[in-house]
Structure 1
Amino acid sequence: MTTPRYRDALPQLSGRRMLTDSGLETTLIFHDGIDLPLFASFALLASADGRARLRGYFDRHAEIAVSHGIGFIADTPTWRASRDWGERLGFDAVALARLNREAVRMMFALRDRWESPATPVVVSGNIGPRGDGYAPDRMMTPEEAQDYHAQQVETFARAGVDMITVMTMTHAGEAIGIARAAKAAAVPVSMGLTVETDGRLPTGQPLGEAIQEIDGSGAAPTYYMINCAHPDHFRDVLAAGGAWRDRIRAIRANASRKSHAELDEATELDAGDPHGLGADYAGLLRLLPNLSVFGGCCGTDHRHVAAMAEACIAEAA
């Protein structure tokens, strides 16, 4: 097992602003023209060409962080690398564990290329939902979710990740289960919740209420993230206030203002306005006092992340 470098002292928890990557699957499908069944980028880890594509993507984003003199959170390309998705793609449990470990090794190598005392690189294992990332098509109890996700969490923990990043959680039950698995493995976790155009989770639960429910479960995440929604969809909810906002340290927003249903039906990329999205992030700094991690989700690419750096990080230096 590789000894984690930052597991007990994540730089972003001290208020240090850091970048992460953007819409990986968006870039691979719409910009690189790669066929990506089930949006499963982890499958590219199984071939030399696929690994080269992923390295190029992550290097491009790490370079943006380093050029601004700040750190980078390297999330593994493993959003779909859990049991049910793996089985649908022909990967058994042994193969999935091997690819999850390969993804971590790739991020360690990226850290070797880019890290310096001024630019820490935090390696994070990325976990996605068991079901649809846009809709709560499979509601799970915390117990079911912990049982399902524990294998991937434990694989990451043994591989030496600094933390785990959870993305596109649609309901509190699954989020609690993953948080419990992370607590059992003694790994910090960023819990990414997705919201609809009204700022509520796809279940209809208010964002603040969901955070309070998860925090009250006995396995509170290290911090929260909002992802896979445009700032227009949740800005008013944040502006309404509430102590729960202090728990949000990361934003990975969509480039598009479209709803999840509209994005699901879209056949063309809606990349929005990179500079406008960067300005939106700067505005969120006034609503989220602990916001310190900036990245993108659907429709975003390295241009959006560079705009975030200019708007949110360079001006704070």
Structure 2
Amino acid sequence: MGLNRVLPHQTTDRFLTYTGYETDLIFTQGIDLPGFASFPLLETDQGRAALARYYVELMALGQAAGMRVLLEAPTWLAHADRGAALGYDAARLAQRNAQAIAFLSQLRLHHDPSAIISANIGPRRDAYAADAQMSVPQAQEYHAAQLNTLAQTPVDLISAYTFSDPIEVIGLIRAANAVYLPVMAAFTVETNGRLANGMDLAGAIAQVDDATDGYAAYYMVNCAHPDHMALIDFATQPRVRGIVANASRCSHAELDQATVLDAGDPVEFGQLMAGLLQKAPQLTVLGGCCGTDFRHLRQIATCLT
């Protein structure tokens, strides 16, 4: 794993990140991503070039804005069940996970040595399901396969994005703890600012922290519009250090059925993100999720600087 890099929970520095490149690749660049998985792009020169453009531009934007950056590896779906649906066995998935971190390590070396490399980990099944899908031991065993591979790389941080089941998050955090990897967990909220099962964010974090001795470095909220996040009282949630927001105000059910991209209003997006930060200054990791592109990220940087 990476050494001696200051992570977001260890500093008051602001970080810029981007987890929305899959929607941009599909809807704007016309690149097919079967199963919404981006890790297969690592296998071709063309695919690596498509990914590199996002990371290089993000690092340039961060440097221009005086913000550090978190580079999210294209590993969100590079785990057993999602990989098997695309024809990948355990060995090939391990190769892609290791390749993803090596790929980002080279880009960081040439463009921004201060950047943080984060391995983006997604849930086993539907990110927006309301039911408890696994027991804690089952979740720990499932996610351990991917985390054991990542522990052998120079990754700086594990970022568990788009989770809606605290039980699965507990298992994943325990798996990260077992291999001494720092981990962040990001919950997805619905249009009412609550998890899909109706639980509020504070309750979910308390449940996870109680079951893991507070091992998570910090928490985030992602894959929801800033208006939906505004329903959360972040000022009373010191463990929440970041928000990565959608461009669209549509619900997850509506977004799942969308055939065109709803990019919203980038200027308004930046203003709303800045408004959330004013209410909760501990939010130091900011970025774009579904439907966003660099227009939205530039507005975040503009509004904050």
Is residue 2:165 matched to residue 1:168? no
5 Å-filtered alignment, 1:210-249, equals: 210-220=204-214, 221-238=216-233, 242=236, 245-249=237-241
- Structure 1 CA distance, aligned partners of 2:103 and 2:109? 10
Unaligned 5+ runs, structure 1: none
The CA deviation at 1:11 is 4.8
Q: Deviations over 1:188-233 (max 9, x none)?
A: 1110100001111111111111011111112431100100001111
What residue number does 2:42 align with?
45
Deviation at residue 65 of structure 1 after TM alignment = 0.7
1:166 aligns to what SS in structure 2? strand
Matched with 1:82 is 79
Task: Calculate percent identity across the aligned residue pairs.
Answer: 46
Q: Which residue does 1:4 correspond to in 2?
A: 2
Where structure 2 has 5 or more consecutive residues not aligned to the other structure, the ranges are none
Report whether the alignment pairs 1:24 with 2:21: yes
The 1-side partners of 2:291 and 2:129 are apart by 18
Give the match's secondary structure for 1:286. Answer: helix
Q: 2:285 aligns with which of 290, 293, 296?
A: 293
Q: More displaced, 59-68 or 10-19?
A: 10-19
- Root-mean-square deviation (CA, aligned residues, Å) is 1.5
Looking at structure 1, the residues matched to 41 and 60 of structure 2 have their Cα atoms a distance apart, in angstroms, of: 22
TM-score scaled by length of structure 2: 0.96
Q: Deviation per CA, 1:111-160, whole angstroms, max 9, x where unpaired? A: 112225xxx20111110010012224661222111100011112111112
Alignment match of 1:304 (pick from 289, 296, 304): 296
Q: Does 2:255 correspond to 1:266? A: no
Letter in 2 for 1:187: L
Secondary structure of 2:2's partner? coil
Q: Indicate which of 187, 192, 196 corresponds to 1:198.
A: 192
Q: What is the CA distance between 1:22 and its match in structure 2?
A: 4.0
Which residue matches 1:155?
A: 149
Task: Tell me which amino acid in the other structure corresponds to 1:39.
Answer: F
Conserved 8 A contact 1:12-1:293: no
Q: Aligned equivalents of 1:286 and 1:154: distance in 2? A: 39
Deviation of 1:286 (Å): 2.5
SS in 2 for 1:197: coil
| Shift of residue 274, structure 1, vs aligned partner | 1.0
Partners of 1:12 and 1:18 within 8 A in 2: no
Give the structure-1-normalised TM-score: 0.92
Query: Is the 1:22–1:302 contact (alpha carbons within 8 Å) kept by the matching residues of 2?
Result: no
